[in-house]
Amino acid sequence: MSDGELAKDIGPLAALTIGVGTMIGAGIFVLPRTAISQAGSFAIVAFTLGGAIALLTAFSASELGTAMPKSGGAYYYVNHALGPLFGSIAGWANWLGLAFASAFYMVGFGQYIQQIFGLSAALTVGPVSLNPVKLIALGGAALFIAVNYIGAKETGRLQNVIVVILVAILAVFTVYGGLRADPSNLPPTAGFTDTMTVTGIIFVSYLGFVQITSVAEEIQDPGVNLPRAVIGSVLLVTAIYALVLLTMAAAVEPGFINALPTEQIAVVEVARLLLGPIGAIAMLFGGLLATASSANASILASSRINFAMGRDGIVSESLNEIHPRFATPYRSIAITGGLILLFIAAGTVETLASMGSVLHLIIYGLLNVALIVMREADAEDYNPDYSVPLYPVVPVLGTLTSLGLIVFISPLVIGLSAVLVVGAVLWYFGYARSRATKEGILSQFILSRSDEMPDAAVNAATGVQPDGGNYRVMVPLANPEHETDLITLASAVAKQRGGTVVATHIVSVPDQTALAGAAERADEIDETSERLLASAKEDAKTFGVDVETSTIISHKSFEAIFDAAKSHDADLVVMGWGPDSHGSPGRAESAMDELTEAVPCDFLVMRDRGFDPSRILLPTAGGPDSDLTASIAKLLQAEYDSEVTLLNVADEGGRDDAEAFLEGWATEHGLDDAALRVETGDVETAIESAAEDATLLFVGATEEGLLRRLVGGSVVLDVVDDVECTVVLGEKHRHRGLLERLF
């Protein structure tokens, strides 16, 4: 078996239990009372109708899942087909929808615990009276968040066992109920609107099947097993729900359920009536297992969605850091956990269930639209193993029923959901648009046929496209002397990348001066700033690149540069370094101690002796930092027609290897026309002698922490001081900035 196959270890039965285990939860163990009291015997219709709506979407999810077995499931398909604007809506809806659903499951869990231990008195702490159900729910949620934060592979296998137990308990319940069923017991039927309202609330019982697609990449033979698991799980739970509801409606006297005191759980009481105390105990046990496993599965699924969103640039990638010890996506789980706790504290059972329902109905609607787009756009690499029956009837009906059901849910919940959707749209335009990496199939389709398509569609598609992330080059300026050279280098890079230059005047004041005091001298600073930034603007303009300017007053200039690079979203920082820029090395040392090794974005540090890019020397031994300097050298070559020389310093006798390495490296970095030079002996001496012919020397940091090395006096620095040409040191961002230390 190849490794690729080893990664896929979820068999057909396990795939089915993911769906069934996520769905059989608080929905059937908590909501039947609400359903029967509001819809009478049509509660059965409500659960069956919910299943039918879910089934339509299950067909579409199966086709998309077999075509794209990727982490992230529903979110991934919507983002892929409809682009990052809808991807943003689907991602947030899916993430928050799972958090609401988990909160709902945990409140159900709380009710079962309360019932088992007979806690009923509200706990009073000072003036605050706390509901015991909510307290238990909060505690339970914290427990399951912790389990997922630490990660235990055993919980996954436990899930399979739990599902079998649940199905068995519910089967026995319905068989006994069926024996005692009497049609004359059925409560009166409710009207259309009441039935639909109930369907909207109980739809939270049908959220699990899409979670199967979010682990599609781990399923064996997904072409066959995924559709079977997705569709099979919906059919199975719909049948179970309908039979359980039938039992509850027909096997007990009408009015029995409505007459129960509120703290009693209807399913448990019906089981007690039918099977005696054993029935009640089994049902209590089942309710605990079901709510816990649903919540657990949902927390796990939400981190997959976060991962997929981060990969597409909809949320920060830093959310998806894997814990070095637990190997879990701990940040994602911590944030999801925080949301769950918040929702438990704030919402009622019905609100939480309805929020989970509505947000998922939105995703299901979009998912069906995504399927139609994939089919119609006839995308090249779209080859699903499974096809939706009766296309286009099924996905069109799926869209209409999913979105249509939302209408019947309470206005408050619809309003809250609308706020979240608008929030996701604003999030796209405010945050994700410049970072999103994928264009949807839909906009590609529209834009590639811009002649045939209505103008409005073309404009709309253009209007919401990701803008590819404007490449931003920040230049911290400390004194006027080197301003032109720094701006020139930055502008040349920005011009080649079609980006923007951000000129930032960093005014460093001694520690003894309060920042407020410095601000009082604002006029003076303003004047210097204005002059400096104005000339920076002029210099950048000669390249025709966009310029932004800002002024920052700070005690510690290096730290200020790091902060500014982050707040200005810089992709690259071009800064000067030397005895007279940003403080002398001796003075900067104290500030340096507080910096982590990593830089927040790519850094170029220039020891300026006049900017002349005509003959560039680029010593390299491979590694990410010389990748950065190579790409900058290539940009300068395109702008100035520079001669580039690559240098490798080899051991005595390693010449041939070194030449082969340089050739390969040059091709890899698009510098085929560069001269190759191999020297032997001392690295430092070799670079110095080679630099005699050069006007510009690029040096990659030997490893992380170039800025530290600047003050440390390592090999790199001696070279900087000993050569006569301008030296540019490059350090590549390694996705491990200061922010990442938060957790």
Partner 1 sequence: MSDLLENVLLPVASEEDARTSARALTSHDYGTVTVVHVIEKADGAPDKAGVEQREEAAEEMFEAARAVLGDVETEVRYGSDVAETIFDAADERDSSAIVVTPRGGNRFVQLITGDVALHLVTDTDRPVVVLPDDETDTDPPDTDE
Contacting positions for partner 1 (CB under 8 A): 3, 6-7, 9-11, 14, 18, 70-72, 148, 150-153, 155-157, 159-160, 215, 217-218, 297, 300-301, 303-304, 307, 311, 320, 322, 324-329, 596-597, 622-624, 703-704, 735-736, 740-741, 743
Instruction: Give the bridge partners for 133, in sequence order.
Output: none
Q: Among residues 504 and 626, whose Cβ is nearest to partner 1? A: 626
Count CA atoms within 13 Å of residue 420 on its CB side.
Answer: 23
Least distance CB 664 / partner 1 (angstroms): 11
- For 423, the token pair is 């929030």
Q: Among residues 111 and 298, whose Cβ is nearest to partner 1? A: 298
The DSSP bridge pattern shows strands 572-576 and 472-477 to be parallel
The DSSP bridge pattern shows strands 726-731 and 602-607 to be antiparallel
Q: Which residues, other chains included, contact 113 with Cβ-Cβ below 8 Å and sequence gap of 6+?
A: 119, 136, 140, 288
Least distance CB 84 / partner 1 (angstroms): 19
Q: Among residues 233 and 351, whose Cβ is nearest to partner 1? A: 233
Q: In the chain, count H helices and then E strands.
A: 30, 12
Least distance CB 473 / partner 1 (angstroms): 25
With both helix axes pointing from N to C terminus, report the angle between 222-250 and 43-67 in degrees, rounded to the nearest 10.
170
What is the distance between the alpha carbons of residues 196 and 137, in angstroms, rounded to a whole number?
28
Strands (E), 375-480: 472-477
DSSP 4-43: HHHT--B-HHHHHHHHHHHHSSHHHHHTHHHHHHHHBTTH
What is the distance between the alpha carbons of residues 634 and 642, in angstroms, rounded to a whole number?
9
Q: Among residues 176 and 307, whose Cβ is nearest to partner 1? A: 307
Asked if residues 574 and 540 have their Cβ atoms less than 8 Å apart, the reply is no
Q: Cβ of 165: how many Cβ atoms within 10 Å?
A: 16
Q: Among residues 112 and 307, whose Cβ is nearest to partner 1? A: 307
Least distance CB 94 / partner 1 (angstroms): 15
Least distance CB 625 / partner 1 (angstroms): 9
Q: Among residues 317 and 546, whose Cβ is nearest to partner 1? A: 317
Q: Among residues 299 and 493, whose Cβ is nearest to partner 1? A: 299
Count CA atoms within 13 Å of residue 135 on its CB side.
Answer: 13
Least distance CB 318 / partner 1 (angstroms): 13
Give me Rg for the CA atoms of the chain.
32
Element (H, E) at 450: none
Torsion from C-alpha of 683, 688, 691, 697, nearest 10 degrees? 70
Q: Among residues 91 and 132, whose Cβ is nearest to partner 1? A: 91
Q: What are phi and psi of 551, to 5 degrees?
A: -125, 135
Find where tokens 């032109």 sit: 484
Least distance CB 311 / partner 1 (angstroms): 8
With both helix axes pointing from N to C terminus, report the angle between 43-67 and 32-39 in degrees, rounded to the nearest 10.
130
Q: Among residues 136 and 701, whose Cβ is nearest to partner 1? A: 701
Least distance CB 376 / partner 1 (angstroms): 28
Q: Among residues 329 and 440, whose Cβ is nearest to partner 1? A: 329
- For 195, the token pair is 């039935």
What is the distance between the alpha carbons of residues 573 and 315, in angstroms, rounded to a whole number?
23
Least distance CB 374 / partner 1 (angstroms): 21
Q: Among residues 35 and 147, whose Cβ is nearest to partner 1? A: 147
Alpha helix (H) ranges present in 251-329? 266-275, 277-311
Least distance CB 166 / partner 1 (angstroms): 16
